[in-house]
Amino acid sequence: MNLAKQSRASEPVEGHAQNSPMVRLRPPWLIYFGDVEDVGHAKTGLGLIQWRREFCAGQMRASGCHVDGGIPDMGIGEAVAAGVNSLVIGVAPAGGSIPPTWVSDLVRAARAGIDIVSGMHARLSDFPEIVAAARESGARLIDVRTPPRNIPVGSGERRSGKRLLTVGTDCAVGKKYTALAVEKEMRARGWNADFRATGQTGIMIAGQGVAIDSVIADFISGAAEMLSPAAAPDHWDVIEGQGSLSHPSFAGVSLGLLHGAQPDALVLCHDPSRKFLLGMEGSGSFPILPLAQSIEQCLGLARRVNVNARFVGVSVNTSRVSPEERSRLYEEIARETGLPVADPIREGVKAIVDRIAAEFR
């Protein structure tokens, strides 16, 4: 199924949120951080700045915001003067709600004719004042986290083409960044490859995708099959992973995505600075699994739908690791797993794509 051919998301719908797997955001963008206090919850905005910096005109921060994306600060008036077309909410709070303190900013932006783009679970259309402002100006309200209609139940049938899925030892360990870096490296080598987004930030970056965590559980694997349909034998779909199979809160979405993706290749993503699963640190009951155990757990489930599934690398977030420690860490992980190791931000994923070339081409 060709998602691009199904989409009409570029057409404005006054006062109503878009409902399409294709999302076309009109640049330049104003990244809205509101009053977010920590980098972890600002990953949407920071990801857009990292991967689509050329579209980011500025950032809007309220009092109490402790996040700085390193781009110019702007108010609504300055954004209008700079030609901004879209305000993108760059925050992903727990529960996906839109705080009341943000609404006046969003109303002013919509009234000024600036599209409002949200990756929240809450819908922009649930706020009458935002809807009214958008109707008045003709601004679009775009809810990125609205899954497409009529998703089928997963069939488990094998599809042509090749697929790589990023999986994690925990949540928020670089699965999106790793997938983007792998696609970029593949394309630089002239390979036929596409990044397939499964989360709100990835969808904004790619312009299309399915927000897997918003899909009804029975249809998650079907959504993944729809996202990465049959393709040419040499084509790679590089699929953004979600959650973690070992996380009590999010393993359901991870398993559905794994089965629907039917990956030929997997990359394990890991943050070596963590000892316990995200959000579970206080209990002490859920330590991060050893890498070899995570690989074994994932392969057992992946091979249910693709008997030839294999790991091709380990991607690590070494932002909190010194250069000296990083070299030692890479050696330890390589010994434990027998796989190439790379940080997609610090040095890229050449070593991992080299392994893919050796294994599959």
pLDDT, residue 15, reads 34
Band (94; pLDDT cuts 50, 70, 90): low
Instruction: Supply φ then ψ for residue 125, to 5 degrees.
Output: -70, -10
Q: Which residue has the tokens 């009951």?
A: 285
> Which one of 143, 171, 186 terminates a domain?
143
* 355 and 223 belong to one structural domain: yes
Instruction: Supply φ then ψ for residue 263, to 5 degrees.
Output: -70, 140
Alpha carbon distance 237, 224 (integer Å): 11
* 119 Cβ neighbours under 8 A, 6+ residues apart: 44, 89, 92, 96, 144, 145, 199, 200, 201, 203, 204, 211
Contact by Cβ (8 Å): 68, 39:
no
> Which one of 112, 143, 174 terminates a domain?
143
Torsion of CA 7, 11, 15, 19, to 10 degrees: 0
Share of the chain above pLDDT 90, in %: 75
Q: Is residue 152 part of a domain?
A: no
Rounded to an integer, the average pLDDT of 18-47 is 81
Alpha carbon distance 358, 361 (integer Å): 6
pLDDT, residue 14, reads 31
Give me the number of domains the chain comprises: 2
Distance of CA 71 to the CA centre of its chain: 21
Closest CA to 64 of 36, 93, 27: 36
* 130 Cβ neighbours under 8 A, 6+ residues apart: 103, 106, 107, 110, 116, 124, 141
pLDDT, residue 280, reads 83
Q: What is the CATH number of the domain that holds 311?
A: 3.40.50.300
pLDDT, residue 92, reads 80
pLDDT > 90? residue 297 = yes
pLDDT > 90? residue 149 = no
Phi-psi sector, 83: left (phi>0), alpha (psi -120 to 50), beta:
left
Question: At CA 23, angle to CA 42 and CA 80, rounded to 5?
Answer: 65
* 170 and 139 belong to one structural domain: no
pLDDT, residue 24, reads 78
> Which one of 109, 143, 177 terminates a domain?
143
Alpha carbon distance 335, 332 (integer Å): 5
Band (162; pLDDT cuts 50, 70, 90): very high
For residue 175, the 8-state DSSP code is H
Alpha carbon distance 145, 151 (integer Å): 15
Domain of 243? 162-360
* 138 and 171 belong to one structural domain: no
* 69 and 136 belong to one structural domain: yes
Element (H or E) spanning 239, and its range? strand 235-239
* 132 and 181 belong to one structural domain: no
Alpha carbon distance 25, 10 (integer Å): 8
First-to-final CA distance of the chain:
26
Q: Is residue 82 part of a domain?
A: yes
pLDDT, residue 333, reads 97
Q: Is residue 171 part of a domain?
A: yes
pLDDT, residue 323, reads 86
Band (3; pLDDT cuts 50, 70, 90): very low
pLDDT > 60? residue 8 = no
Q: Is residue 156 part of a domain?
A: no
Question: At CA 117, angle to CA 113 and CA 121, rounded to 5?
Answer: 140
* 240 and 333 belong to one structural domain: yes
Q: Is residue 327 part of a domain?
A: yes
Alpha carbon distance 200, 134 (integer Å): 22
* 100 and 200 belong to one structural domain: no
* 207 and 355 belong to one structural domain: yes
Alpha carbon distance 251, 238 (integer Å): 20
Rounded to an integer, the average pLDDT of 287-311 is 97
Residue 283 corresponds to which amino acid? S
Closest CA to 86 of 165, 127, 173, 25: 25
* 92 and 206 belong to one structural domain: no
Residue range 177-225, pLDDT digits in tens: 999 999 999 999 999 999 999 998 899 998 889 999 889 999 999 999 9
* 202 and 320 belong to one structural domain: yes
pLDDT, residue 22, reads 60
* 49 and 126 belong to one structural domain: yes
* 166 and 294 belong to one structural domain: yes
Q: Is residue 149 part of a domain?
A: no
Q: Is residue 305 part of a domain?
A: yes
Global pTM? 0.84
pLDDT, residue 95, reads 64
Residue range 21-32, pLDDT digits in tens: 567 789 999 999
- For the chain, give the mean pLDDT: 90
Band (13; pLDDT cuts 50, 70, 90): very low
pLDDT > 70? residue 311 = yes
Q: What is the CATH number of the domain that holds 21?
A: 3.40.50.720
Residue range 102-111, pLDDT digits in tens: 999 999 999 9
pLDDT, residue 16, reads 36
Q: Is residue 323 part of a domain?
A: yes
Lowest model confidence (mean pLDDT) among 66-75, 76-85, 140-149, 264-273:
140-149
Lowest model confidence (mean pLDDT) among 38-47, 314-323, 329-338:
38-47
Band (12; pLDDT cuts 50, 70, 90): very low
Residue range 229-261, pLDDT digits in tens: 999 999 999 999 999 999 999 999 999 999 999
